[in-house]
Structure 1
Amino acid sequence: MLSQPWRVALFLFVAAGLNYADRTALSSVIPPLRQDLGATDVQIGIAGMLFLWTYAIASPFAGNLADRFSRSRIVLWSLVTWSVITIATGLVQSVMMLFVLRTALGIAESFYLPAAGALLGDHHGPATRGRAMGFHMLGLNLGLVLGGSAAGLMAEHYGWRLGFWVLGAVGLLLALAARFLLSDGPAKLPPAAGGVSPSSAREAWTYLMRVPSFHCLLLSAMVAGVASWIFLSWLPLFFAENYGMKLGAAGLAGVALYKGPVFIGIALGGWLSDRVAQRNARGRALIKGLSFIVSAPFLFLFIGAPTFALVATMMIVSSIIRAIGLPSEHPIVCEVVPPQFRSTAIGILNTCGSAAGGVGVLLAGIFKKDLGLNVIFGASSFIYILAGVLMLVAYWFSMAKDMQRAEAFAAASGRAA
């Protein structure tokens, strides 16, 4: 029998998979959707940008709500809402309607990750936090792989709309299981039960503005978000156009080669993050920084117009190495931010990564014709190196002081870190 902290982790694992499957399914059905709606590459880029920018703008506000109200209920209502929107996406008849629904999806999904990340932090202490959040990351990436491949296969055989209906229906079914698996953590207590009053947005932002390590994490997320969303949005089309793949194969190859190998990296990274944190919690930032830097050079080989076999090899290697740092991201937030501000912090983190990612998706759509996707992908290696350097700056110069300050703040307010 699973303990309650791990039952929560299991529910969030499945919800995370649906969260990312629903948002990325569009990238695997671009050719038939483009033909059906008469959309251009730039309009597809705008659709991706609208989701990411809306998600980015809403995330800080969504995060602060999860610091003030029940995190488990916010997770549930976010799941229900984005599932309904996903079903509606399968009914679109125009590019404008697609724009509206991608905007709505950005708002609905923005409530999930800040609440879910902080909820895991409430249920899991430093000894298991890396593994629990790594498990959650596995769900996110499983959703990317299955969502992209399933949507592509269904589009190939039954039309592009069916995938959205199936994914949305699965989300509504999952919501029915929430009463048996999902609950708020012991750190989320009402004032009458000995907890502290919910934090206002002003209090959270005032505190976070004085945390240099968090600033480095934000900048790193922005830089890495540009490269990540370029790959997620355009890699299936790259395989279809350059290697003559059908939709199902291109969707599977595009998402699986970029995100499939991360399961190995995340499994290793979650264990390594907790192991290193037992000796020095700053080590989580070191792991994340080095994972970016070491993985980056492999992607530069895109510029040479490589064969599919070489592309597959370098994607697998780089994805595994980069994924080792993923389970450390939200635990770093938990180390340098007190419990009552963590949802807001994760919301702001989503904002920075998603807003930058929206720019990347749009720019790739604009410059695709002149530069080619292979050059755009190759240039991302330099982007990842910069993201890694920013994390090393936090490790060397600011994280120790920020951790001490967060621990003292949590102790003074009666909350366990």
Structure 2
Amino acid sequence: MRSIDHTSPGTPDRWYLLSYVATTYFTIYAHRNLINYIQPSLLLPIADGGLGLDEAQLSWVGPAWQLPYCFSQLFAGYLSDRFSRRRVILSSLLASSICLAMIGLVGNLQELLIGRGLLGFAQACAVPAMAGAIADCFRPRTRSKAMAIYLFSYNAAVIVAGKYGGAIADLPARHIPGTPETWVVHGWRLSHFVFAAVGVVAWLVLLKVLREPPRTERREDRGLGTEGGTVWQTLAQIVRVPSFHLMYLTFACAGIVVRISRFWMPQHFHNIFHESLGWNQEDVGSFSTLWIQIGSMTGLLSGGVLADRLVRRTIRGRVWVQLGGWVLLTPCLVVIGTQESPMVLRVAMLLLGLGLGAYQANFWTASFDVIDPAARATTIGLFNLSSGLLVSTWFDPFLGWIETGAQQQGESILGTAIVSVSGVGVGCIILLGLMMWWTLPRDYVGDDSEPDTGST
């Protein structure tokens, strides 16, 4: 364990580390989100190159990835608190690339769900390891900005997956040279192979340049000490923090917003604009990602910079910014679910992304303010586990089941579902208010260089 000067912004190599983990996050997030933007291809009959799925069956591809990912988070997070984060990150990236290529070979729903499940297991270890590394390399007064820059890669991955994943999926079937005439690769399969190849290239580069970051903030006389504790000691250290429980509930709320915007909004816009404007998968993928992600990237950077300034005056600075984000994005869900004007939808998605970005830039960093440094990666794992239990176990299948019934009647309930999620936003605003004024002042673990806990 190596300590750093409290007056410095972090370790000397912090920006190199940030660029490396951002590259990893970009790649694995593109892998996991690619399927959101090729849905129409999977709904096609098998004779036309699809898998012959319906909306109810397709709704299981989210849980098939999310549940293995979330349930393995506890073990994955603890690994990163105790062992080499470099090895964890590189192994996860390579496994993700292999699994994505395998999904490009599936021939039915069962194989697709198995492939998505393996992808979830493969990616589970990476995020807790990267979050812990960023927390160790950046001091509290620069963490939100660092996290915002890191999460830029997540937004860029969504844009790339939406535009280029959809564009490749729209390509006509291609014959594989030197093989029988029946051996063809359809566009949606090719998109998996291309994105998997990008992952392998990224892995080869990071294998050469990524180094194990130091663990800088652990103290022998505090919490779990410099070496950390057992699994049960680490869990006990986390769950006794009241703010943790409010935070995982807000994270579950954010998970619902992310699922509705990443998975169901593209389908909603396809329903609206495929016939009226003749939009294809590339058009829908670009429209449903670009404006949200532009707003989100703006929210990430502005929210990160603002929170880093506020937190020097008050321990509530990061929570204030999160709260503002939810106040902004909640009414936007109502607009998106009820309007059909592309211009109005662009503005609403831009503001939705702005609010979501402000929240995301400060969620992890706010948890670092209340959690023992030796338990940070495990905490990130628990957040992902809670999101899986509270959201992924039911949300997509339930919505898919209702949508299938509506489609059989020639209708769609996706607009109503998007509006309903605004109620989740109201609940999240209440939870953040409770955290700001009730639990945070008692749970804050800042050091002597940070604001006094009595600050407002």
TM-score (norm 2): 0.84
One-letter identity of the residue aligned with 1:21 = A
Q: Which residue of 2 aligns with 1:9?
A: 18
Q: Which residue of 1 aligns with 2:269?
A: 239
**Contact 1:293/1:389, CA 8 A, preserved across alignment:** no
Alignment of 1:349-360 (within 5 A): 349-358=383-392, 359-360=394-395
**For 1:177 and 1:135, how far apart are their aligned partners in 2?**
20
Q: Which residue of 1 aligns with 2:211?
A: 183
Given the alignment of the two structures, is residue 285 of structure 1 paired with residue 294 of structure 2, yes or no?
Answer: no
1:272, CA displacement in angstroms? 0.9
Given the alignment of the two structures, is residue 388 of structure 1 paired with residue 432 of structure 2, yes or no?
Answer: no
Given the alignment of the two structures, is residue 20 of structure 1 paired with residue 29 of structure 2, yes or no?
Answer: yes
* Alignment match of 1:379 (pick from 400, 415, 420): 420
1:191, CA displacement in angstroms? 12
Q: Which residue of 2 aligns with 1:402?
A: 443
Query: Which segment drifts farther, 147-156 or 304-313?
Result: 304-313
Query: Which segment drifts farther, 172-181 or 207-216?
Result: 172-181
3-state SS in 1 of match to 2:215 = coil
* Alignment match of 2:229 (pick from 195, 199, 206): 199
Task: Give the share of equivalent positions with the same residue, in percent.
Answer: 24
Q: Which residue of 2 aligns with 1:165?
A: 193
Q: Which residue of 2 aligns with 1:311?
A: 345
1:177, CA displacement in angstroms? 2.0
Alignment of 1:52-131 (within 5 A): 52-131=66-145
1:351, CA displacement in angstroms? 1.6
Query: Which segment drifts farther, 199-208 or 368-377?
Result: 368-377
Q: What do residues 73-122 of structure 1 show as CA deviations (whole Å, max 9, x unaligned)?
A: 11111011011111111111111110101001111111111111011001
* Alignment match of 1:174 (pick from 198, 202, 211): 202
Q: What do residues 337-379 of structure 1 show as CA deviations (whole Å, max 9, x unaligned)?
A: 1111000000111122244342322222122243611111111
Alpha-carbon spacing, 1:181–1:278, altered in 2? closer, same or farther (3 Å): farther
1:306, CA displacement in angstroms? 2.9
Alignment of 1:222-261 (within 5 A): 222-244=252-274, 245-261=279-295
3-state SS in 2 of match to 1:160 = helix
1:134, CA displacement in angstroms? 0.8
**Contact 1:21/1:167, CA 8 A, preserved across alignment:** yes
**Contact 2:303/2:359, CA 8 A, preserved across alignment:** yes
**For 1:107 and 1:395, how far apart are their aligned partners in 2?**
34
One-letter identity of the residue aligned with 1:279 = R
**For 1:174 and 1:400, how far apart are their aligned partners in 2?**
42
Alpha-carbon spacing, 1:282–1:190, altered in 2? closer, same or farther (3 Å): closer
Given the alignment of the two structures, is residue 134 of structure 1 paired with residue 168 of structure 2, yes or no?
Answer: no
Alpha-carbon spacing, 1:256–1:354, altered in 2? closer, same or farther (3 Å): farther
**Contact 2:292/2:354, CA 8 A, preserved across alignment:** no
Alpha-carbon spacing, 1:201–1:109, altered in 2? closer, same or farther (3 Å): same
One-letter identity of the residue aligned with 2:77 = G
1:152, CA displacement in angstroms? 0.2
3-state SS in 2 of match to 1:38 = coil
**For 2:64 and 2:400, how far apart are their aligned partners in 1?**
13
Say what the alpha-carbon RMSD is for the aligned residues.
2.1
**Contact 2:228/2:375, CA 8 A, preserved across alignment:** no
**For 1:206 and 1:284, how far apart are their aligned partners in 2?**
25
Alignment of 1:340-355 (within 5 A): 340-355=374-389
**For 2:12 and 2:295, how far apart are their aligned partners in 1?**
29
**For 1:214 and 1:186, how far apart are their aligned partners in 2?**
25
Q: Which residue of 2 aligns with 1:411?
A: none
Q: Which residue of 1 aligns with 2:397?
A: 362
Alpha-carbon spacing, 1:116–1:225, altered in 2? closer, same or farther (3 Å): same
**For 2:196 and 2:327, how far apart are their aligned partners in 1?**
37
Q: Which residue of 2 aligns with 1:263?
A: 297
Q: What do residues 272-310 of structure 1 show as CA deviations (whole Å, max 9, x unaligned)?
A: 121111112321112112211232112112443432222
**For 1:217 and 1:184, how far apart are their aligned partners in 2?**
29
**Contact 2:308/2:317, CA 8 A, preserved across alignment:** no
Alpha-carbon spacing, 1:83–1:188, altered in 2? closer, same or farther (3 Å): farther
1:255, CA displacement in angstroms? 2.0
3-state SS in 2 of match to 1:127 = helix
Highest RCO, 1 vs 2 (Cα 8 Å, sep ≥ 6) = 1
**Contact 1:52/1:357, CA 8 A, preserved across alignment:** no
Alignment of 1:326-341 (within 5 A): 326-341=360-375
**Contact 2:93/2:199, CA 8 A, preserved across alignment:** yes
Q: Which residue of 1 aligns with 2:183?
A: none
**Contact 2:272/2:340, CA 8 A, preserved across alignment:** no
Point out the structure with max Rg over C-alpha: 2
One-letter identity of the residue aligned with 2:245 = H
**Contact 1:122/1:186, CA 8 A, preserved across alignment:** yes
1:224, CA displacement in angstroms? 1.9
3-state SS in 1 of match to 2:149 = helix
3-state SS in 2 of match to 1:183 = coil
Q: Which has the higher helix share?
A: 1
Alpha-carbon spacing, 1:144–1:292, altered in 2? closer, same or farther (3 Å): same
* Structure 2 unaligned residues grouped into runs of 5+: 1-10, 45-49, 173-186, 407-411, 449-456
**For 1:151 and 1:43, how far apart are their aligned partners in 2?**
21
One-letter identity of the residue aligned with 1:60 = L
Q: Which residue of 1 aligns with 2:453?
A: none
**For 2:78 and 2:385, how far apart are their aligned partners in 1?**
13
* Structure 1 unaligned residues grouped into runs of 5+: 409-417
1:189, CA displacement in angstroms? 10
One-letter identity of the residue aligned with 1:364 = L
